[in-house]
Amino acid sequence: MNIRFYNAKILKLKENRKFVIETGELWVKGDTICYIGDGTNGGRVFENQKEDIIIWDREIDVCGNLLMPGFKNAHTHTAMTFLRSYADDLPLQDWLFQQVFPREDQLTPEDVYYLDILGIMEYLTSGITSNFDMYFFPPQNAKASVDCGFRTVQTSGLNNFGGTVELLEENYHIVNEMSDLSSFIVGFHAEYTTSKELMEGVAKLAQKLKSPVFMHNAETKKEVDECKQRWGITPTQLTDGLGMYEYGGGGYHCVWFEEADFEIFKKRNLTAVTNPASNLKLASGIAQVKRFMDEGISLAIGTDGAASNNCLDMFREMFLTTGLAKVRESDASCVSADSVLYMATAGGAHAMGLDDCDRLEVGKKADLIMIDLQQPNMQPENNIVKNIVYSGSKQNVKMTMVNGRILYEDAKFAIGFEPAEIYRKANEIIGRMK
């Protein structure tokens, strides 16, 4: 479709990682942004067509609201929507081994398909245009995203309880070849759930495929302490020594880092994905976000799954990322709104290998959202970026577009599924479990 947005404020990212706001128009041709400007200098943007005879499928008056890049949710377990508010108020490993794993063992591929759609719907309401997922049945996960028109990058949750390196490689090729909306990066669940033999297999596969590697890393103090008891070193040091990171990658959570861990992440150009709400709820700790920034280590933000968060809301994650950092460092000036918004958009895109979705720019994918500024929490407009990070909420998401398609607009979904049917499926799935 050819879509013209006009009367818009447009959030653009400059090279210094600072955001600026311009006013004007943004045009979408197919799945790509083809013009940003004041509307008077479009020239012959559309091949063999003059500006005055462009045929628009839609012309949308933005009414002075804000167009910005969509959020990139850089750590998710989407299908865990079925365990929302089911296994709460427990320490991480009790929660995981006593409540989560036994129910996950009962999931079917069809279950994961519908639970993914429920998660995608929630992502859209929060202005999330892509996610970085780790869960079972990757082909079904990818199919759910493609069927909805959503963009998902996946990594493997391989561990001692399920999966093989051979299956990981098979899923890598299936998902990467399925659609431009689906991609796959090598990974495994965590050091504490995965044998050294399996981790060595993952490292060799990553080298073979020239793929980055991601895993849960240093989420709890217990995890790190037990790893050091087993191997004498931290999970970061262990996996680096196995050759995991020749082609980059990173870790989820990264709360309990030691000096050598920071050095490895910096040397290998890895990304730390922080998950503040999940870490708070499971009492795992507060990541050293300022230290990562000071070291020049890339950062991204994720919600984690609905079983541990329980809300897939990037506005809340952004506020917690900066708020907890300020408290941890006793420094109200650290981790600015601009830096957090960068983590939630471009930072996540780069971690996921989505460099063509990181900002609003001609030639980039049309993955964008409209923020309703005509609400009390967005006024006055002293600083719109700070409004988004410090006072913004899901209520401000007026529209979410992925790959040039509007999938959510004015509280209505356009993903090919009726919400009531998805809700019924989710309740049936959890209702049959023991």
pLDDT tier for residue 45 given thresholds of 50, 70 and 90:
confident
pLDDT at 36 over 70: yes
Q: Which of 327, 355, 383 is the last residue before a domain boundary?
A: 355
DSSP conformation letters of 281-346: HTT-----HHHHHHTT-EEEE----TTTS----HHHHHHHHHHHHHHHHT-TTSS-HHHHHHIIII
Q: What value does the mean pLDDT of the chain take?
A: 96
Q: Would you give the DSSP letter of residue 247?
A: T
> pLDDT tens across 299-320, in order?
999 999 999 999 999 999 999 9
Segments forming the whole domain that contains residue 296: 71-355
Residue 423 lies in a domain: no
Same domain, residue pair 115 and 11: no
The pTM of the full predicted model, rounded to 2 decimals, is 0.96
Is residue 87 over pLDDT 90?
no
The per-residue pLDDT for 96 is: 84
* Tally of structural domains, the chain: 2
> Is the separation of the CB atoms in 371 and 388 below 8 Å?
yes
3-class SS of residue 194 = coil
Could you tell me whether strands 71-76 and 213-217 are parallel, antiparallel, or unpaired per DSSP bridges?
Answer: unpaired
> Taking the C-alpha atoms of 10, 14, 19 and 24 in order, what is their torsion angle to the nearest 10 degrees?
-20
- Confidence band (pLDDT; 50, 70, 90) for 227? very high
CATH classification of the domain holding 362: 2.30.40.10
Taking residues 14-41, report their average pLDDT: 94
Q: Is 418 helix (H, G, I), strand (E, B) or coil?
A: coil
Residue 345 lies in a domain: yes
pLDDT at 368 over 70: yes
Map residue 53 onto helix, strand or coil.
helix
**pLDDT (0 to 100) of residue 309:** 94
Q: What is the mean pLDDT of residues 124-135?
A: 98
- C-alpha span between 290 and 304 (Å, rounded): 21
Largest Cα–Cα separation, the chain: 70
pLDDT of residue 434: 72
Residue 418, pLDDT > 70, answer yes
- The span from the CA of 425 to the CA of 429, in Å, is 6
Tell me, what amino acid is at 102? Answer: P
Are 128 and 42 in a shared domain?
A: no
- Token pair in block for residue 256: 């309990």
Is 418 part of a structural domain of the chain?
A: no
188 plus 163 within the same structural domain: yes
The mean-pLDDT minimum among 40-49, 278-287, 337-346, 350-359 falls in 40-49
425 part of a folded domain:
no
Using alpha carbons, select from 94, 99, 251, 256 the residue that is nearest to residue 188.
Answer: 251
Q: Residues 375-417: pLDDT tens digits? A: 999 999 999 999 999 999 999 999 999 999 999 999 999 999 9
At residue 47, the pLDDT reads 60
- Both 56 and 41 in one domain: the answer is yes
287/281 Cα distance (integer angstroms): 14
- Asked whether residue 145 falls in the same domain as residue 102, the answer is yes
Q: Does 371 lie in the same domain as 349?
A: no
Clarify whether residues 232 and 110 are in a common domain.
yes
- Give the number of residues written for the chain: 434
Mean pLDDT of the 273-293 span: 97
Please tell me whether residues 298 and 339 are part of one structural domain: yes
**What is the predicted pLDDT for the residue at 15?**
84
